[in-house]
A and B are shown apart, each in its own frame.
Chain A
Amino acid sequence: MPAAPRLHELQQGFAAAVLGHGDDVAAWIDGAGLDPAARLRIYRNAVAATLEAALHDTFPTVHALVGEDFFDAMAARYRQRHPSTCGNLQSFGGALPGFIEAMPQARSLGYLADIARLDWLRQLTVLAPDATPADAHAAADAAAVEPRQLHLRLHPSLHLLHSRWAVLTLWRWCQSPVGPAPRPDRGGESVLLWRDGGEVVMAAVDPATFRCIDVLAAGGDVAAAHRAAMDLDAAFDLQPCLRDLLVQGLVVAFNNQEGCT
């Protein structure tokens, strides 16, 4: 019998067994009437169930679209390829959209990765920091600033997703699948997500508006955002876009004013 393992070695061996990479650690387990490997399997199954349940909770629309068997098989492969790296399960699953994109079994479901992205962004939106919207005085002051020098700090819950598929229409249909499913290839959708009173709000916007907000969210100035939007649509009108952001409480601060809480 070799010398008893140090804690680090034992835990590495235990983790390997739980992840399905060999049961060498079983030599150090007291079977007490059971095969030590059977005792290890209790943990392997529990760990798998926890991680797969976390994916199930975070990606309910992917689950609804592909069904139980496909989802379970995908979740099992995903957790093996992308083990959890955080003690908080809310962080588990961020790489699933890219994983779906690379799955041969999902090749005929091109829209599935973007549905996964939308599910994931909904979670990020729910968990984002709170922030107090900028008030009317701040907006009035900002109106006097040169657009080239004006930056907007947008609400931390605001997320954007541009898809070549009708991702929001399909997502909504999945919540109450009445009537025929919408064709995912009926045209791309540009989606904004944010939190309003604790609820996630999603809205499809035109591509130019999306581009404008995308540039602002990335820290670009208002003039640059305007130009980027005009490149897509020469008739793009900046004012309604900014007004909507303000009305929805999505502007937290202008330039470097304090605003985040």
Chain B
Amino acid sequence: MSCLLPHAQHPIPAAAGIGLRAPHIARVLQERPRVPWFEVHSENYFAAGGPMHAALERIRADYPLSLHGVGLSLGSADALDVAHLGRLRQLVDRYQPALVSDHICWGAIGGIHLNDLLPLPYTWEALDLVVSRVQQVQDALGREFLVENVSSYLNFRHADMPESAFVAELVRRSGCGLLLDVNNVYVNSVNHGFDPGEYLRAMPHASVREIHLAGFLRKDRLPVPLLIDSHSRPVADEVWALYREALELCGPQPTLIEWDQDIPELEVLLAEAARAEEELHACRTAIA
């Protein structure tokens, strides 16, 4: 699976990769599993040096890489944190990843960081702001940036549009790429009572560059159904079904298995990736 010339143009294949987390790094370095690509959390590599970078340098030499951020806070009403953006730029310059992304959310206000992916009100005001922020990021990085739809547990009363319209318009107006998290679409469809298929159909399919899959937790004993995007379990059957729909609409796309809590053995992630690979294969076959 190694590539001879790992450079920026080495694309991420339309195949199933996994999110590389600390407990698996040593095994990946030692065993070089057949994984088509890896994604890491950008902020984990913001420090200037050390063993994390030494490991990522070696992994980057043999695998296509995607950098996925959780801390840019694109939707904060305060100015974008230029120091954070500067460190991201350094990281992008150093590793020349094939994809760079963060979330359609906010996480900081007034200098206080909540270090979470908090929901935006889907208003015209928020849309204008996030469009300008995404353009600022793409200008700073000098390349296409991907934004990801987030899971959420509440809606604001004063929204001007549904989430799907906000996401589609953001991508259209800023010219960025879309990281379509199919699990988040499903989680939100349950939490907010909308048709997830309709959401997928409203997406700008030609702008989708990557798909995320993960597992959720179901909250019991509540008067309404509520799913928590925990990244702690296998991908649910309903999400696999929605993933098939997404592939039919967008064609085969680089797909990532994310698992961030109660992280299991690498084999479990590889098995999830293999299942995504079967879906991708079926999609390719259907197209052919």
Residues on A lying within 8 angstroms of B by beta carbon are 4-8, 10-12, 14-15, 18-19, 28-30, 32-34, 36, 39-40, 42-43, 46-47, 50-51, 54, 83-90, 92, 126-131, 156-157, 195, 198-199
Apart from A11-B109, A14-B109, 9 more pairs, CB < 8 Å: A5-B158, A7-B125, A33-B224, A39-B154, A42-B226, A87-B73, A89-B43, A90-B44, A90-B47
Question: Are A87 and B154 interface neighbours, CB within 8 A?
Answer: no
Across the interface, which residues of B come within 8 angstroms of A131, CB to CB? 49
- Which chain B residues (183-241) contact chain A, with CB distance < 8 Å? 192-193, 222-224, 226, 228
- Could you show 10 A-B contacts with beta carbons less than 8 Å apart? A7-B123, A28-B121, A32-B224, A42-B228, A83-B113, A87-B115, A88-B87, A89-B43, A90-B43, A130-B53
Across the interface, which residues of B come within 8 angstroms of A126, CB to CB? 47, 50-52
Q: Interface centre among B48, B84, B114, by most A CB within 10 Å? A: B114
Which residue of A has the minimal Cβ distance to B129?
Answer: A7
- Which chain B residues (27-73) contact chain A, with CB distance < 8 Å? 43-44, 46-54, 70-73
Residues on B lying within 8 angstroms of A by beta carbon are 43-44, 46-54, 70-73, 75-78, 81, 84, 87, 106-116, 118, 120-121, 123, 125-126, 129, 153-158, 192-193, 222-224, 226, 228
Across the interface, which residues of A come within 8 angstroms of B75, CB to CB? 7
Q: Measured between alpha carbons, how far is A87 from B106 in the docked complex, in Å?
A: 11
B103 CB, min distance to chain A CBs, angstroms = 12
A209 CB, min distance to chain B CBs, angstroms = 26
Question: Are A11 and B157 interface neighbours, CB within 8 A?
Answer: no
Across the interface, which residues of B come within 8 angstroms of A47, CB to CB? 114-116
Q: A85-B113, A87-B84 are in contact. Are A127 and B48 (CB under 8 A)?
A: yes
Question: Are B154 and A198 interface neighbours, CB within 8 A?
Answer: no
Question: Are A33 and B223 interface neighbours, CB within 8 A?
Answer: yes
Across the interface, which residues of B come within 8 angstroms of A157, CB to CB? 49-50
Question: Are A127 and B50 interface neighbours, CB within 8 A?
Answer: yes
Question: Are B129 and A32 interface neighbours, CB within 8 A?
Answer: no
The contact of A50 among B115, B157, B192, by CB within 8 Å, is B115
Across the interface, which residues of B come within 8 angstroms of A198, CB to CB? 50-51, 54
B68 CB, min distance to chain A CBs, angstroms = 14
Across the interface, which residues of A come within 8 angstroms of B120, CB to CB? 7
Across the interface, which residues of B come within 8 angstroms of A28, CB to CB? 121, 156-158
Q: Measured between alpha carbons, how far is A43 from B123 in the docked complex, in Å?
A: 21
A81 CB, min distance to chain B CBs, angstroms = 12
Q: Measured between alpha carbons, how far is A8 from B115 in the docked complex, in Å?
A: 17
Question: Are A88 and B157 interface neighbours, CB within 8 A?
Answer: no
Q: Measured between alpha carbons, how far is A14 from B107 in the docked complex, in Å?
A: 10
A201 CB, min distance to chain B CBs, angstroms = 13
Across the interface, which residues of A come within 8 angstroms of B108, CB to CB? 87
Which 5 pairs between the two chains have the least Cβ-Cβ distance?
A87-B71, A198-B51, A127-B47, A130-B49, A4-B158
Question: Are B153 and A43 interface neighbours, CB within 8 A?
Answer: yes
Q: A7-B125, A47-B115 are in contact. Are A87 and B43 (CB under 8 A)?
A: yes
Question: Are A84 and B155 interface neighbours, CB within 8 A?
Answer: no
Across the interface, which residues of A come within 8 angstroms of B126, CB to CB? 7
Q: Measured between alpha carbons, how far is A28 from B158 in the docked complex, in Å?
A: 7
Q: Measured between alpha carbons, how far is A131 from B224 in the docked complex, in Å?
A: 56
Question: Are B77 and A11 interface neighbours, CB within 8 A?
Answer: yes
Question: Are A29 and B154 interface neighbours, CB within 8 A?
Answer: yes
Which residue of A has the minimal Cβ distance to B125?
Answer: A7
Q: Measured between alpha carbons, how far is A19 from B112 in the docked complex, in Å?
A: 10
Q: A7-B125, A10-B121, A11-B77 are in contact. Are A34 and B223 (CB under 8 A)?
A: yes
Q: A4-B158, A7-B126 are in contact. Are A15 and B53 (CB under 8 A)?
A: no
The contact of A43 among B47, B54, B118, B192, by CB within 8 Å, is B118
Across the interface, which residues of B come within 8 angstroms of A34, CB to CB? 222-224, 226
Which residue of B has the minimal Cβ distance to A50?
Answer: B115
Across the interface, which residues of B come within 8 angstroms of A12, CB to CB? 109-110
Q: Measured between alpha carbons, how far is A92 from B51 in the docked complex, in Å?
A: 20
Question: Are B54 and A29 interface neighbours, CB within 8 A?
Answer: no
A100 CB, min distance to chain B CBs, angstroms = 22
B204 CB, min distance to chain A CBs, angstroms = 24
Question: Are A32 and B84 interface neighbours, CB within 8 A?
Answer: no
Q: Interface centre among B73, B78, B155, B156, by most A CB within 10 Å? A: B156
B231 CB, min distance to chain A CBs, angstroms = 12
Question: Are A39 and B50 interface neighbours, CB within 8 A?
Answer: no
Q: Measured between alpha carbons, how far is A29 from B53 in the docked complex, in Å?
A: 42
Q: Interface centre among A4, A7, A30, by most B CB within 10 Å? A: A7
Question: Are A36 and B84 interface neighbours, CB within 8 A?
Answer: no
Question: Are B109 and A46 interface neighbours, CB within 8 A?
Answer: no
Across the interface, which residues of A come within 8 angstroms of B121, CB to CB? 7, 10, 28
B226 CB, min distance to chain A CBs, angstroms = 8
Q: Interface centre among B112, B192, B226, B228, by most A CB within 10 Å? A: B112
Question: Are B109 and A84 interface neighbours, CB within 8 A?
Answer: no
Q: Measured between alpha carbons, how far is A49 from B125 in the docked complex, in Å?
A: 31
